[in-house]
Amino acid sequence: DQTTMFNMHDLTVETLNEQDLLLYGFELAIARPVNRIGFDNGSNFKPQGYALGGYEVTGSLTCKRDAESTDAIDTSTPVALALSAGDVFQIDAPKVMVDGSGISYDDDGWKQTIPFRCTYSGATTSTIVEIKTA
């Protein structure tokens, strides 16, 4: 149903590396380069083909800086990311690499910004990210 609405307060699962986070916000970007190959000058310069690059899935989490958030990023191995609002909205990324994180302070207190890259195992059935909506 495309009219189902939710907001950040509806999230019931907010975990990274099995650590519960208090999220202020998140971003998720999916990119895949497409390049034009050659052209046919006899037919309005239409391309002879296209080259598709690999998917790149990146994002960031902004959360309260506490023991849970520091434990979540204290790793150099892939970890699982799970965000869920029941059956309405769900993001699962089974293998996330945490990039260098940042710390900030504002009216809400200490915050941790955690940039990440979603990866996969290389198997034909490996999932990079799974997004479900109602």
CA–CA gap between residue 29 and residue 88 (Å, rounded):
20
CA–CA gap between residue 134 and residue 129 (Å, rounded):
17
Query: How do residues 44-87 score in pLDDT, each as one tens digit?
Result: 888 889 999 888 999 999 999 999 999 999 888 999 999 999 88
Delineate the domains of the chain, giving CATH numbers in brackets. 8-133 (2.40.30)
pTM metric for this prediction? 0.83
| 94: CB partners within 8 A, 6+ apart | 78, 80, 127
CA–CA gap between residue 111 and residue 64 (Å, rounded):
5
Amino acid at 69: S
Tokens of 123: 């198997």
Q: Whose CA is closest to 66, among 13, 110, 113, 115?
A: 110
Query: How do residues 76-119 score in pLDDT, each as one tens digit?
Result: 899 999 999 988 899 999 999 999 899 999 998 999 999 999 99
Per the listing, tokens 């307060």 go with: 9
